Amino acid sequence: MGTAPCLSIDPFDEAFLADPYAHHDALRDAGPAVWLEAWHCFGIARHAEVQSALKDHEIFVSGRGVGLADFAREQPWRPPSLLLETDPPIHDRTRSIMNKVATLASLRGVRAAWLAKAEAIVEELTERRTFDAVTDLAEIFPLSVFPDLIGLMDEGREHLLPYGMATFNAFGPRNALFEETNATAAPAAAWIASACERSNLKPGGWGWAVYEAADRGECSEEEAARLVRSFLSAGLDTTVNGIGHLILALATFPDQWDKLRARPELAKRALDESLRWDSTAQTFFRTTSRQVEVGGVTIPADSKVILFLGAANRDPRKWDNPDQFSIERATSGHVGLGFGIHQCLGQMVARLESEVLLEALISLVRSMRLNGPPLRRLNNTLHALESLPIVVTPN
Ligand code: 8QM
């Protein structure tokens, strides 16, 4: 059994966060597991080992936090999520409640309305020819459909995106990025807490349906509120940046956009390839419940391990031409939505949002190119965009 090579790379410094892909080769090539002296944690960046760790939820546990902080030793930033930051058996109970709420069947009824919203937004942007795909599209569209799906109150929805950014920063160290969003997070967190209360949720939404599970005795009232909080934490900044990167991919690989226009049935696959090509959630941690060997490297019990999902998704050991965005690629096994028991529970929302958006773009837009350099919004977990200037020609 070997010891992990010791690296000085800091995955939370600004240079790394601004361009994680520039540093992934060094992480992957150093070994199947590495020691990151900057934060005294282990790191795994190769696809096979990241996927195995995600599958092995008994050794790589989530209940001690999926950020750098070890909940066995440190106070969590917020009351832990009953899904993301728990292990079986609690996780399985809460997950099955949520699986019955977040279903494809319950989305069937909204498809037409979501498509109409996407078309209205894209039509206006196409008339303008130039726009910012972050502020004019990627932020606008999910906010125009997702809060209503949950049944959120109308007042105060501007808190949703800042709350998400603060939550995702809190999975990293207490660095300047954390401090920046944390300093202003209190009003957003207070609004989120009140928005999750039964009395503030509209009947018929997914939030209301979680309280119906509480009425059936499947969870407590307090648990229901915390589960609704999961929808609000995980459901917006992820899809905003997922859509942003989908547009970035199509604008930087125009041959793929042409292929999609010629074969619109490929739209369903485009999101998976865009999540492989640029994983919105770049990293998540696990904590080892006992000593484990990863590719011959020993990781002791009670270690924090950072899993580089974005690096796994571009590991040349797994993917041919990994930096190439290619919508016909077989993306099965990508870890952009996680893997195993914690795999993204809201992925049908992300899929429907991207599908109807692509449908609207295909019907209205002939070409779509970058109209200036994309700007990044640094975050400890998310690969996020601040601005994405686009120029289109209409059909
Ligand atoms: C990330 O609060 C939660 O349950 C939660 C927060 C963030 C996520 C997932 C769940 C993975 C998208």
Closest residue by Cα to atom 11, ligand 1, is 234
* Alpha-helical runs (H) found in the chain: 14-18, 21-30, 47-55, 90-101, 105-108, 111-128, 140-150, 160-169, 176-183, 185-195, 206-215, 221-234, 237-252, 254-262, 267-277, 309-312, 347-364
- Cβ atoms of 283 and 382 closer than 8 Å: no
What is the number of other CB atoms lying within 10 angstroms of the CB of residue 42?
25
What is the predicted pLDDT for the residue at 255?
A: 98
Token pair 């369903």 in the structure block, residue: 268
CB of 283 closer than 8 Å to CB of 17 = no
What spacing in Å lies between the alpha carbon of 335 and ligand 1's midpoint?
15
109 Cβ partners below 8 Å, 6+ apart? none
The Cα–Cα gap between 343 and 208 comes to 23
Predicted TM-score of the model (pTM)? 0.98
E strand or H helix that includes residue 385: strand 384-387
**Would the CB of 234 count as within 6 Å of ligand 1?**
yes
168, 64 contact by CB (below 8 A)? no
Ligand 1 pocket check for 170: Cβ under 6 Å: no
- 140-150 helix and 237-252 helix, angle to the nearest 10 degrees: 150
Q: Tell me if 382 CB under 6 Å of ligand 1.
A: no
Q: Are 201 and 227 in contact (CB under 8 A)?
A: no
Neighbour tally for 180: CB within 10 Å: 14
HSE (CB half, 13 Å, CA atoms) of 221? 3
Question: What is each CA distance from 28 to 31, 213, 251, 304, 313, in whole angstroms?
Answer: 6, 44, 28, 18, 11
Tell whether ligand 1 has an atom less than 6 A from the beta carbon of residue 349.
Answer: no
The set of residues, in sequence order, having a beta carbon less than 8 Å from that of 140 and lying 6+ positions away, is 121
- Mutation probe of ligand 1 site: the residue of 77, 81, 238, 307 with most atoms within 8 A of C-beta: 81
Q: How many Å lie between the centroid of ligand 1 and the Cα of residue 230?
A: 6
Assign 37 a pLDDT band (cuts: 50, 70, 90).
Answer: very high
SS3 113: helix
Token match 């361009």: residue? 19
Please provide residue 301's backbone torsions phi and psi, each rounded to the nearest 5 degrees.
-60, 155
| CA dihedral sign, ordered 136, 138, 141, 142 | negative
Q: Is the pLDDT of residue 1 over 80?
A: no
Q: What's the CA gap between 166 and 285, in Å, rounded?
A: 17
138 phi, psi to nearest 5 deg: -65, -35
Q: Is the CB of 392 under 6 A from ligand 1?
A: no
Give residue-wise pLDDT tens across range 164-187.
Answer: 999 999 999 999 999 999 999 999
What is the per-residue pLDDT for 376? 98
Give 70-109 pLDDT, tens digit per residue: 999 999 999 999 999 999 999 999 999 999 999 999 999 9
Q: Is residue 264 very low, low, confident or very high in pLDDT (cuts 50, 70, 90)?
A: very high
pLDDT greater than 80 at residue 295: yes
Q: What is the mean pLDDT of residues 241-254?
A: 98
Please give the Cα distance from 195 to 157 (Å, whole number).
Answer: 9
Q: What is the best residue among 233, 309, 345 to mutate for testing ligand 1's pocket, by most ligand atoms within 8 Å of CB?
A: 233
Structural contact between residues 169 and 216, judged by C-beta atoms closer than 8 angstroms:
no
Q: How confident is the model at residue 321 (pLDDT cuts 50, 70, 90)?
A: very high
By C-alpha distance, which of 339, 341, 345, 325 is closest to 271?
325
User: Order of strands, edge to edge, in the sheet holding 365-370?
Assistant: 130-132, 389-394, 365-370
Looking from the CA of residue 83, the nearest atom of ligand 1 is 4
Q: Map residue 100 onto helix, strand or coil.
A: helix
Kind of pairing, strands 292-294 and 384-387?
Answer: unpaired
Going by pLDDT thresholds of 50, 70 and 90, the confidence category of residue 155 is: very high
Burial of 296: CB neighbours in 10 Å, binned 0-12, 13-18, 19+: exposed
The per-residue pLDDT for range 346-374, each reduced to its tens digit, is 999 999 999 999 999 999 999 999 999 99
- Whether 314 and 25 have beta carbons less than 8 Å apart is answered as no
Pocket test for ligand 1, best of 85, 230, 343 (most atoms within 8 A of CB): 230
